[in-house]
Amino acid sequence: MTATHTVDHIHDQPMSEVALRSVAIEALLAEKGLLTADQVQEQVDRMDRRTPADGARVVARAWADDGFKARLLNDSRSALAEMGIRLPEETPHLTVVENTENVHHVVVCTLCSCYPRMLLGRPPDWYKSLAYRARAVRDPRGVMAEFGAEPPADAEVRVLDSTADMRYLVLPRRPAGTEGMSEEELAGLVTRDSMIGVTGALQP
């Protein structure tokens, strides 16, 4: 028995070694009756539906509701469930950290590309690059400057290293002048990069 879908070439270029290995593993799991191609596709589709807009809704709720923010920082799984975002039991633990006037967090995965896909979707290419993974640790302020961000000179910059068991989501500082804005309007100010910590939220 083999997987039901075929291996296609894109623009007549052969698949990468990693992609071929992935297809081979999928076929082996199907052959042993542990997984079907439909189950794999279901998981892929579910992940593709995740976008930074999911995380932006969470940040906007935290900005608008101090009680929710406290619960999110203390127990992200339960707080997310309040918004109808239910994390599967096998999902790595998600820690939400808050940027303040005195502390700014930047997230990196120094070993590979661990990332809160459940709220941000697929990681950007630069997040997976060797250059970012190395420089974010050595020179986080320099990296942020390249993204156009500059935390206060006296603010502490903390670099958080994601792992297979732990993911991080940054709660950026709420921009000034957003009093009275709806959650939907606030969510429009939250970017993927601000939830990684390399930038702040957009200004209204």
The pLDDT tens digits of the residues spanning 89-98 come to: 888 999 999 9
Catalytic residue ranges: 109, 112-114
pLDDT in tens, 156-183: 999 999 999 999 999 999 999 999 999 9
pLDDT at residue 2, rounded to an integer = 34
As a whole-number percent, the residues of the chain with pLDDT over 70 amount to 83
The tokens of 24 are what? Answer: 């081979």
Q: Which two tokens stand for residue 110?
A: 């120094």
Tell me how far apart the alpha carbons of residues 10 and 4 are, in angstroms, rounded to a whole number.
19
Are 104 and 121 contacting, i.e. CB atoms less than 8 angstroms apart? Answer: no
Residue with tokens 């976008």: 51
Q: Where are the domains of the chain?
A: 17-48, 52-196
Residue 170, strand partner residues? 97
Question: Domain 52-196, what architecture?
Answer: Alpha-Beta Complex (3.90)
